[in-house]
Copies of this chain bind each other. A is one copy, B any other.
Amino acid sequence: MKSYRVGILGATGAVGREMMKVLAERDFPLSELRLLASARSAGKKLNFKDQELTIREAADDAFEGLDIVLGAAENDIAKRFAPAIKAAGAVFVDNSSAFRLDPDVPLVVPEINPEDVKNHHGLIANPNCTTIVSLVAINGLRKASPIESIVASSYQAVSGAGAAGPVELDQQMHALCEGGKVETKTFPYQIACNVIPQIGGAAFEGYTSEEMKLQNEGRKIMHLPEMKVSCTCVRVPVMRSHSVSLLVRTKKKITVEQARELIAAAPGCKLVDDLANKIYPMPLDTSDQDLVFVGRIRPDLIDEKGLNIWCCGDQVRKGAATNAVQIAELVTQL
């Protein structure tokens, strides 16, 4: 079996570390794992399987010899190194939002549009976390009808803000419990015992950048250029795993029973839907695993072609690291 030389750009962040974990768990065929980060982290060591790997500084000459680079860094870093990664001949699977809407760059959720990987020119983008969780949840419905619109309200975990997010929530909880001062740094306001209805900056008609992703990225991933999405993104004091309340309207009516069957059969999903027995997806239950849990499936009471759906998925894993490693697996099969 062929094996690959893989780099992680931004290896010390929450997503980078999770990528290492997922590569190990899935036994990705590696002949080298190269950890790249800022000068600040260079020289530090991280464990991978039974090895100790030394972090190298990300620089233009750091990608030579690599087959695949998994990007776990911010937009500016991704843009800064994309040319060097291309020059080194590696395929860049990038988790930032820098290239997601570029028509030359496939945007892939392996359960939904794996075939798009074929069209890459050295760069494949990993979608937004809330977008991945929401689309995996409803993808099965497309076997019965195209999706026309989605109304979404999210309940996003602090992990979405990177490694500093859970640290800040934990510190604030300690401050509240111990009578200390609540300090804010990563989030603009106290997040413990609060919810903050802003993720990302102002982008379009009063929507934030995060709120526009489900429409913009969803259209591209699902090949549904007309799909319309009204989205509200809200940060909640949950450590990990995003939840989303979705109202999905389809071209043809799908019954609740049909929807349950389609979702139960869809890859990447787990149907968790038995209200009478208090069984439904919750972020605590979906953390640290790869499936998107889907439940609370009900008929829309406004439009007979609508369904209300509740889903939860681990933002760091399926929403980021696992999806990227799955894309890398598709690359190895080209």
Docked complex Cα distance between A23 and B177 (Å): 32
Residue on B nearest A177 in the bound complex, by CB: B177
B230 in contact with A301 (CB, 8 Å): yes
This chain: copies in complex = 2
> Which A residues, 153 to 175, have Cβ-Cβ distances below 8 Å to chain B?
153, 155, 169-170, 173-174
**Contact residues in B for A276 (Cβ distance below 8 Å):** 202
Tally of contact residues, A, Cβ under 8 A: 59
Q: Does A151 contact B (CB under 8 A)?
A: yes
Q: Does A302 contact B (CB under 8 A)?
A: yes
Q: Does A238 contact B (CB under 8 A)?
A: yes
Q: Does A176 contact B (CB under 8 A)?
A: yes
CB of A216, distance to nearest CB on chain B (Å): 11
Known: A177-B177, A232-B245, A275-B206. A237 touches B193 (CB 8 A): yes
Residue on B nearest A301 in the bound complex, by CB: B230
Q: Mark A230-246, 1 if CB is under 8 A from B, else 0.
A: 10101011110001010
Residue on B nearest A281 in the bound complex, by CB: B197
A155 in contact with B298 (CB, 8 Å): no
B206 in contact with A256 (CB, 8 Å): yes
A205 in contact with B275 (CB, 8 Å): no
> Which A residues, 177 to 227, have Cβ-Cβ distances below 8 Å to chain B?
177-178, 188-190, 192-198, 202, 205-208, 215
Q: Does A59 contact B (CB under 8 A)?
A: no
**Contact residues in B for A306 (Cβ distance below 8 Å):** 230
Q: List 5 A-B contacts (CB under 8 A).
A: A151-B247, A155-B234, A202-B276, A205-B298, A206-B275
Complex A-B, nearest 8 residue pairs according to Cβ-Cβ distance, in ascending order: A153-B153, A206-B298, A153-B245, A228-B302, A232-B245, A194-B284, A149-B302, A177-B177
